[in-house]
Structure 1
Amino acid sequence: MTLHRISDWDDAYTNSAYIPGGEGYPDKWQSLAAGFRDEMGRTGRLQADISYGARQRNRFDLFLPIDTPKGLVVFVHGGYWTKFDKSCWSHLARGPLDHGYAVALPSYVLCPEARISEIVRQVADAVTAAAGEVPGPIHLTGHSAGGHLVSRMICTTTPLSGDVVSRIVKTVSISGLHDLRPLMNTEMNNTLRLDIAEARAESPALLEPIGGIDLTCWVGSAERPEFLRQNGLLENLWSSFDVRLSSIEEPGRHHFDVIEGLADANHPLVRTLLAV
């Protein structure tokens, strides 16, 4: 196997420039999410801006199915820990909702106001608060930086309590970043402020998984090579532990459209997340 040495780490983690029409996706997400929130609000199935902490962005939206929830799905958004909030992704709740699950979408304080280690704790607080609203099994999923954050929840150094961890039955990291050290070589680290100690402490690939967890790492086959590499890390590095692991490359999908499967109840991404 020929190994390619990366010399331009900023380019390795650039997505929009390599996706046709990439610059238009944020507006598309906002429009779809706003329409979905309006629909859910009219039917009384949206509980908006539930607080899980003291700061302004410590809020989550909770979408409820028609009947008593079968359990809880938590979706954690991406944006390199520096962009977006819960309002961009509401429409991705549709797939799990159609299967009868409640779906929580949290915002969190972004870098540089917060460090990544602080964001990890915020996400744990959001999961805990959402778990207090909805009983039953918990399914975690997140995209890109959100994939990192949900994977971090199932490491032995998780900030989650044992009671919450015991309810997590499935985690799906979508295009997740599981080793943070390469990001120290990018210009975005001026915002992230990662040092080697924090990168090591918060990289799932450098930590041990909680025994018995069930994790799928999901990526689009048309994503950048560095995201394909990051996707395969946990299946490789955690394979000796008592865990269930799989990695999937969805044909033809890129970094911006790989999440669209969450909006479709019959899509394999939703079925994998819910084990249906």
Structure 2
Amino acid sequence: MDFDDAYANAAYIPGAAAYPERWRQNAAEFRDWLLSAGQAELDITYGQSTRSRLDLFLPDKAPRGLLIFVHGGYWLKFDKSYWSHLAAGPLHHGWAVAMPSYDLCPEVTIAQITRQIVQAIICAAGRVDGGLVLSGHSAGGHLVARMLAPGMLPNAVMQRVQRVVPISPVADLRPLLQTAMNAQFGMDAAQAAAESPVLQQAPKLPVTVWVGAEERPVFLDQARWLVEAWQADPERPDLEQTDVGHVVSPGQHHFNVIEDMAHARSALTTALFA
């Protein structure tokens, strides 16, 4: 297998180059609208680096809880400013939304990014009462899945997590050792295994793994591997287990699979708060 080609998303999406600018514009317009309504707090500091900032978007009444959405980009690109518009669906349902930026490889390691997201979640959770839902796309799907590793989040925060929805997650990092990207990740086999959610203990709370039906085959595999790794074992009813949902969304690829989050009645938004 040519692993670089297998994990190349943009090369197989028509008009891929136009997506980031469209995301950026839609996000900026949505942020401006929320700012004018007094429903946005921007660039909240959660850590020491310049990128350790998050945006918090609030519904027009007391929040029912908090969704924390972590962006993707192979731990190499993007920041929170591209995704603000995706908060529209959750806000309609009365949920606050936090979106963090984080440092990028190769300036930091993926393991260090994981620890940054822990700090971002702690910070955001301290600002909004109620339940927590964690979701993220691609590399962000990996990062929110890592939050379910035992001891990753403080107990007081973990007890508030109601559901996790990794979208098109990279759940097994070991294949990335065979890509040119690993020159920037700097992972060895042990580090890739340590950061792979498929190898961590299955969580005891509801998880829905979401992926587009038109994604690259390896992303369909990655989603399936996570479901299989975390699925309840029917032969062990003595264990405290939770079934893991697996949604393959028709007609969607790696770039547009997240866009339904902006729509209040979409299947994806519904899954966040099921």
Instruction: Please report the TM-score for the alignment, with normalisation by the length of structure 1.
Output: 0.95
1:69, distance to aligned residue in structure 2 (A): 0.2
* Structure 1 position 32 matched with structure 2 position 56: no
Query: Which of 200, 214, 227 is the matching residue for 1:235?
Result: 227
Give the match for residue 61 of structure 1: 55
Q: Which residue of 2 aligns with 1:208?
A: 201
- Per-residue Cα deviation, 1:234-273 (whole angstroms, up to 9, x for no partner): 2211223612301110000000000011000100101000
Residue 84 of structure 1: aligned partner: 78
Q: Is the 8 A contact 1:138 1:168 kept in 2?
A: yes
Letter in 1 for 2:80: K
Matched, 1:219 2:218: no
Deviation at 1:198, TM superposition (A): 1.1
Q: Is the 1:156–1:209 Cα contact (8 Å) retained in structure 2?
A: no
- Structure 1 distance, partners of 2:186, 2:86, is 30
**Displacement, 1:209?**
2.4
Partner in structure 2 of residue 165 of structure 1:
158
Moved more, 112-121 or 229-238: 229-238
The answer for the alignment partner of 2:181 in structure 1 is 188
Q: How many residues align?
A: 267
In 2, Cα distance between equivalents of 1:84 and 1:274:
26
* Structure 1: 4+ residue segments shifted above 4 A: none
Query: 2:159 and 2:217 mapped to 1: Cα distance?
Result: 34
* CA distance in 1 between partners of 2:179 and 2:186 (Å): 11
Root-mean-square deviation (CA), in Å?
Answer: 0.8
How far apart are residue 213 of structure 1 and its match? Answer: 1.3
Match of 2:236 in 1: none
* TM-fit CA distance, 1:85: 0.2
Gaps of at least 5 residues in structure 2 are 234-238
What is the CA–CA distance in structure 2 between the aligned matches of 1:260 and 1:22, rounded to whole Å?
14
Distance in 2, Cα, partners of 1:86 & 1:237: 30
Q: 1:107 maps to which residue?
A: 101
Aligned to 1:267: 266
Aligned match of 2:130 in 123, 136, 141?
Answer: 136
Q: Give a deviation string over 1:137-156, Cα, whole Å, max 9, x none.
A: 00000000000000110122
Look up the equivalent residue of 2:68 and give its one-letter code: V
**Amino acid in the other structure paired with 2:273:** L
SS at match of 2:126: helix
Q: Give the deviation of 1:180 after TM superposition.
A: 0.2
CA displacement at 1:157 relative to structure 2: 4.6
TM-score (norm 2): 0.96
Partner AA of 2:117 in structure 1: V
Q: How does 1:36-47 map to 2 (within 5 A)?
A: 36-47=30-41
- What's the CA shift string for 1:28-81, capped at 9, x where partnerless? 100100110111011010100001011100100000000000000000000000
Aligned equivalents of 1:74, 1:49: Cα separation in 2: 15
Q: Gapped runs of 5+ residues in structure 1? A: 1-6
**Tell me, what secondary structure is at the counterpart of 1:258?**
coil
**Kept in 2: contact 1:175–1:217 (CA 8 A):** yes
Distance in 2, Cα, partners of 1:46 & 1:106: 13
